[in-house]
Every structure is written in structure tokens, then in C-alpha cells.
Amino acid sequence: METGLAGKGVLVTGGAGGIGSACVRAFAAEGARVAIHYRTSRDRAEELAREAGGVALQADLTVEDEVGSLFEAAERELGGIEVCAAVAGFWPREDEPVWRLPLERWEETLRTNLTATFLTARAFLGLVERSGHGSLVLVGSTAGRFGEAGHADYAAAKAAIQVGLLLSLKNEIVRIAPRGRVNAVAPGWTYSPMTRGELDPDFVSRLSRTMALRKVAQAEDVARAVVVLASDELSGHVTGQLVTVAGGMEGRTVHADA
């Protein structure tokens, strides 16, 4: 099916990560010109850029000036940015209930997820204001829908992204782009470098009790949803929507066995 993404400039934040790199490959497969953002994973980003025929660009997304410079460089390298996939995020591994959660970790998690996504969206919409068109896809998490014990900081950040920020931006973007769209994807547990070491078979068996499709997602499952939402051809009348890619996960147990 034609996505209409061929020749369009796409910036993927967190493009060197598991879901990010799958998004880069999926956009490149549609003929898009892709900028791959990274913070520390330079080698992976540059290798992926060679593979996808794109460009690797470094920035710390929690630093306002660096985000601005990232978008300036991406626009210059690609000749324009029509799509932004805000994939970058951070999940702290340590299980810390709120009564033991340090303020430092709370603030860091919100900064690397919510603030980084805000700065990314703001910079992209600055370009949209000039061009009059654009599609933004935010990446949240099922933690933002159902909560996640031991990770209230992460759940709070993702909930803010995929509810408050998403629903505000879908109304704001049309002030500067009549057909501009903002949507979001909420992945569940997904095989990626961020979850490496966490998804042993016993853990998967326990967590999948809440899932109709009893398996962990691949990064490509999430990337396909991102591409569909980014495409004006496939979802041109879809905005402000959250697509959950989690095998039918619910906030209750579906399967009785462990």
C-alpha cells in the first residue's frame, strides 16, 4: 500500500535504539530521507545511517539549545522535515516504589522522557509553522495507560506525553497547518536494548497473563504503527489518537495460568 512517504524528510529521535532503529529502517523502506538522532550511540547511529542512506546527528534532548541545533541540522541535511517520530526515552531499571523513590530519579526520568519530548515537539512545530504541514508521532508506553509498580516516575512521564501533551498538540498544530496531525503509539513490553536482561521466559509468562496475544512485541511491530500514523495517505484523517501496540494488553488478568 502506498504510504506517500517517499522523498519526505523524517527525523527519528532515539534512532539508534531498538524501536528507533526499527522506525528508521521502516521509513527508509518507504523511500523517506531519514535523520537518525542519537545521544551517545554514535557508532550504531552512523552504521544505521550508512545502511538507510540517511544522516546521523547527535544531541542531548534535555538541553534546549541542542534540540534547536538538531532540527536545524536535520532540516539542512534533508532539505526539510515533514515527519518527526519522537521515539527517544529512558526506562530506569531499578524497581523503586514511591515511598523510596528519590526526587533526583523522579526529576531525571521526567526530564529524559517528558521534557525531551516537549522540546522535540516544540522544535518540530516551529518548522511546521513555516512550512504549513507536518506529522508528529509521539512514543509513549502502556505504563502510561495502566501504571507500572516500581516505576511511577516513568508511568507519569509517559501518561503526560500520550494524554495531556498529545491532546493539546493535536489542537494546536492545526493553527499553523490545517492538515497537520499529531498521534502517539504506546508500546507494551518490546524486545529492545532497553529491556535486555529483563525478559526471561518466566517473566514473559507472568506478564503475558494480561495479554490476548501472548507474546512480547518486536521493535518492528511498533515501527509499523509509527509509519502508518506518520503517513498522510494511510491515516490522513486520524489525529489525537493513541495506538497501543501490546498484544491486547489489559489492566486485568486474561489467562489464569502463571
Residue ranges of domains in the chain, CATH in brackets? 9-243 (3.40.50.720)
Give me the catalytic one of 27, 91, 154, 189. Answer: 154
Where residue 230 falls among pLDDT bands split at 50, 70, 90? very high
pLDDT above 70 (res 95): yes
Q: List the beta strands (DSSP E) in the chain.
A: 9-13, 33-38, 55-58, 83-86, 135-139, 181-187, 242-245
Question: Each residue of 123-152: pLDDT tens digit?
Answer: 999 999 999 999 999 999 999 999 999 999
Where residue 97 falls among pLDDT bands split at 50, 70, 90? very high
- H or E stretch covering 107: helix 103-110
pLDDT, position 154:
98
To the query of whether residue 38 is one of the catalytic residues in this protein, the response is no
